[in-house]
Amino acid sequence: MGTATSRDLVYIHADESCLGNQFGDRANPGGAAGLIEVFDEKRGWNRRDYYVSDPDTTNQRMALRSAIEGLRLLTKPCRVIFHSDSNYLISGMQDWVHGWARRGWRRKGGPIENLNLWIELVSAASRHYSSQQGIAWRWVRGHAGHPKNEYANNLAIEAARGLKDSKGLIKSGFDDWIEAQQEKDRFMDFLDLPPEEHFVADPAPPMPPLL
C-alpha cells in the first residue's frame, strides 16, 4: 500500500474483558471496547470510544467483538491500523482465516469455534479493502505499559461490570484518563504524537461462507 500520512490513517486500539472465568458454574459477563483516533496536523487528534457487553461470554468471543464493532463503526473504507493484545484475534486475521477458507471453512481438527463471529469479522474487514485501503493487524503485549491498550482494557472492564453499550461512537475520555494517570506518575514518557507509519495492509480476508 505504500507510505501514508497520519491523516490518512485510522488507528484502533481495542481490548476485551471477561469476568469470572475462574468460575465454571455461573455466567461470565464480558466487555469489548476500543479507542478510534485520527490525527490532523492542524486540529490534532480526533478520538472516539466504543464498547459493548454480553452477560455470558468468553474472552475469545469478546476479542472478536472488539474488532467487529470497531470496523463497522467506520462510515467509509479506510486505511486502518488495528492494535490488540489478543493473539487469537491477530493471528486469526493474519493467518488462520486464509487456511480455513482453503479447507472449506474448517480447521484441521474439525469445526471452527466461534465461526459466526469470524464470518462477521471477515465481512466487516472486507469493506476496507477497496480503493487502495486495507487493514494492518498489529499485536501489542497486554498490561505492558501501553497507555492506549490499557485505556481500551479499562473501557472493556467497565462495560463488562455494568453490562454497558455505548450504542455507537461516543466522545473519548482518553485525554482525561491519561492526565489522571500522569498525576499518579504513570506513563510519564508518553508523547501524544502519531508514529511515523509505513502502512502495509495485511492480505484481504477471504470470502466468508454462507451459513
Q: Per-residue pLDDT tens, the chain, 211 aa: give them.
A: 334 445 579 999 999 999 976 556 678 999 999 999 999 989 999 999 999 999 999 999 999 999 999 999 999 999 999 999 999 999 999 999 999 999 999 998 889 999 999 999 999 999 999 877 899 999 999 888 899 999 999 999 999 999 999 999 999 999 999 999 999 999 999 999 988 878 999 999 998 877 6
Task: Tell me if 136 sits within 8 A of 80, measured CB to CB.
Answer: yes
For residue 134, the cross-strand partners are 79
Task: Tell me if 70 sits within 8 A of 137, measured CB to CB.
Answer: no
Cα separation, 53 vs 73, in Å, equals: 16
Cα separation, 17 vs 154, in Å, equals: 9
The yes/no answer on whether domain 6-183 falls in CATH 3.30.70.890 is no
Rounded CA Rg of the chain: 17
Cell 488495528 maps to which residue? 82
> Could you tell me the three cell numbers for 143?
498490561
With CA atoms as reference, report the closest residue to 182 among 174, 193, 190.
190
The pTM of this model reads 0.93
Helix (H) or strand (E) holding 137, with range, is strand 134-139
Task: Tell me if 38 sits within 8 A of 10, measured CB to CB.
Answer: yes
